[in-house]
A and B are shown apart, each in its own frame.
Chain A
């Protein structure tokens, strides 16, 4: 008989890549069936319920992060939740990285490898299309895509 246990982290925001990496890593542990790391919005609580992962009596707000573990026994659930808490506390986070490194994918986070350079499209815009922008009293001209000019810059 599976057990479902949870831990709530009040008003905690974390990168989704990091949360997915934590959940995917913990799900591989022996005795663990499923791990969820989601914000406790009404819609997500409904999803947890539909997935057989809603702990009885769970009370949480949309800005609370809830880690839910469905495991084969109480020990596995407890150990997994403690590991999740350690990851979130910044100890051994799957998504941890050397200073200055930016992780862009779950795979990056899980393997802690350096990601490829941030992909930049040839039409990268830094502020925008309209005719000019002003910064610190100087006027500079911005380039725009010839096909589309969705944003505009105003001077402060």
Chain B
């Protein structure tokens, strides 16, 4: 029997304007229940339902309060069936456009970010640490190949997509970061080139990884990516953003930030 979720849990919720409206969906399926997110499947799409501290994700719904998320988590964790019902008729609450716009980078911020990321330790079993470092280090090459419309981008992307720990593997987070950085620096030709290559390789990763990568190619980025983007615009934001990124999964936040930083041209070098 499907688990019924009280409609009141959605009071104050926000949703991705590019995602499902949820109107008409009477049943969803629980794919994953984490500590700060529950991933549902509805209408053939993934719907990440998140804790307010996690923020809104592409195609998702962010609940209004921690209490609401706790209640949802409690209901879902006690479910005997993966089907979740009772959210039909919800009109979507506040719809948020998760698109990134171009923004001027600050040379000092970019420099500081690169230095800080180079010093950032990688957690996890020792045998995986080297892989995570390799994947992060691949970001500058991927950004460069994308900007040059180089056909070798295909091989570069295929070697990182789906690679690394996590249900959204490190390589996917790096690629989302690179796409975000290219958007921020207003290099549309590079975004289109990288997007076309990424879309061809989506079968090489997990379903959640593919979900976020596809969204990134459509200029829909999780709110935490928007927050991370501040680090390249404001020197004072670098330290707090890195601290925040450390809390996104085991390595996801720093993976993403590494990709983003690698795709931002240093304003001073560009001027020279």
Contacts and interface: CB of A to CB of B under 8 A. Distances in A.
A150 B103 contact: yes
Interface stretch (B145-153, B160-168, B192-200, B264-272): B160-168
Q: Is the interface of A mostly helix, strand, loop or mixed?
A: loop
Given A13-B208, A23-B125, A103-B35, A147 B96 contact: no
Interface residues of A, number: 63
A134 B94 contact: yes
Contacts of B97: 128, 130, 151-154
A17 B249 contact: yes
A145 interface: yes
B249 A15 contact: yes
A149 interface: yes
A109 to B, nearest CB: 9
Contact of A119 (B124, B221, B243, B251): B243
A153 B204 contact: no
A41 B205 contact: yes
B135 to A, nearest CB: 9
Contacts of A99: 70, 74
Interface in A103-131: 103-107, 118-128, 130
Interface residues of B, number: 73
B154 interface: no
Contacts of A53: 127
A43 B206 contact: no
A102 B163 CA distance: 26
B100 interface: yes
Interface string B165-180: 1110101000000000
Interface in B103-128: 103, 123-125, 127-128
A145 B237 CA distance: 12
Given A39-B205, A44-B164, A97-B35, 14 more contacts: A13-B167, A13-B206, A14-B34, A15-B34, A34-B127, A62-B207, A100-B70, A121-B227, A126-B52, A150-B99, A151-B223, A152-B97, A153-B97, A156-B21
Interface of B: 12, 14-15, 17, 21, 31-32, 34-36, 39, 51-53, 56, 70, 74, 91-101, 103, 123-125, 127-128, 131, 159-167, 169, 171, 184, 203-209, 221, 223, 226-227, 229-230, 233-234, 237, 240-241, 243-244, 246-247, 249-252
Leading 10 A-B pairs by shortest Cβ distance: A41-B162, A43-B163, A16-B166, A13-B32, A16-B250, A104-B247, A152-B97, A148-B103, A121-B240, A135-B94
